[in-house]
Amino acid sequence: MKEGYTLVYKRPDTLLKTRMHYCPGCFHSILHKLIMEVVEEMGIQNDVIGVSPVGCSVFAYDYMDVDFQEAAHGRACAVATGIKRTLPNHPVFTYQGDGDLAAIGLAETMHACNRGEKFSIFFVNNAIYGMTGGQMAPTTLEGQITTTSPYGRDPKNVGYPMKMAEMVSQLPGVAYCERVCLNNPANVRKAKKSIRKCFEIQAQNLGTTFLEVVSNCPTNWRLSPIKTLDFVENNMLKYYPLGVKKDVTATEEK
Partner 1 sequence: MDKKIAFMKGNEALAEAALRAGMTGYFGYPITPQTEVIEYLCKEAPKYPKFTVLQAESEVSSINMVYGAAAAGGRIMTTTSSPGFSLMQEGISYIACADIPCVIANVQRGGPGLGTIQPSQGDYFQSVKGGGHGDYKLIVFAPNSVQEVVDYTYNAFDLANKWMCPILILSDGAIGQMMEKVILPEPIPARTAEEMRDEKPWATNGKGKRTKRNIITSLNIQSDAMERRNNELQEKYRRIEGEEVRYETYKADDAEILITAYGLSSRVCKKAVDIAREQGLKIGLVRPITLWPFPTKVIDEFASKPNVKFFMDVEMNVGQMIEDVKLVVNGRKPVYFYGRTGGILATAEEILEQIKAKM
Q: Are strands 174-181 and 243-247 parallel, antiparallel or unpaired?
A: antiparallel
Q: Which of 22, 27, 61, 221 binds partner 1 (CB under 8 A)?
A: 61
Candidates 46-54, 125-133, 171-179, 190-198 — which segment interacts with partner 1 by CB under 8 A? 46-54
Site for partner 1 in 68-97 (CB under 8 A): 68-72, 75, 78-83, 85-87, 90
238 binds partner 1 (CB under 8 A): no
Q: Say if residues 134 and 145 touch (Cβ distance below 8 Å).
A: no
Q: How far is the CB of 156 from partner 1 (least distance, A)?
A: 30
108 binds partner 1 (CB under 8 A): yes
Which pairs count as long-range contacts for 19-25, CB under 8 Å and 24+ apart, including other chains?
Answer: 20/63, 21/59, 21/62, 22/56, 23/217, 23/218, 23/219, 24/218, 24/225, 25/216, 25/218, 25/224, 25/225, 25/226, 25/228
40 binds partner 1 (CB under 8 A): no
Specify the residue, 74 or 161, whose C-beta has the smaller distance to partner 1. 74
Residues 6+ apart with CB under 8 A from 222: none
In three-state secondary structure terms, 57 is: helix
Specify the residue, 67 or 200, whose C-beta has the smaller distance to partner 1. 67
Q: How far is the CB of 59 from partner 1 (least distance, A)?
A: 8
Q: Which of 2, 3, 24, 46 binds partner 1 (CB under 8 A)?
A: 46
Specify the residue, 107 or 250, whose C-beta has the smaller distance to partner 1. 107
190 binds partner 1 (CB under 8 A): no
Fill in the per-residue mask, 193 to 222: x = in contact with partner 1 (CB under 8 A), - = not in contact. Answer: ------------------------------
Task: Please write down the HEC assignment for all residues of 81-119.
Answer: HHHHHHCCCCCEEEEEEHHHHHHHCHHHHHHHHHHCCCC
Helix (H) or strand (E) holding 70: strand 67-70
Q: Say if residues 94 and 121 touch (Cβ distance below 8 Å).
A: yes
11 binds partner 1 (CB under 8 A): no
Q: How far is the CB of 200 from partner 1 (least distance, A)?
A: 18
Q: Say if residues 122 and 211 touch (Cβ distance below 8 Å).
A: yes
Query: Using CB under 8 A as the criterion, which residues of the chain lie in contact with partner 1 when the complex forms?
Result: 45-49, 51, 58-59, 61, 65-72, 75, 78-83, 85-87, 90, 107-108, 111
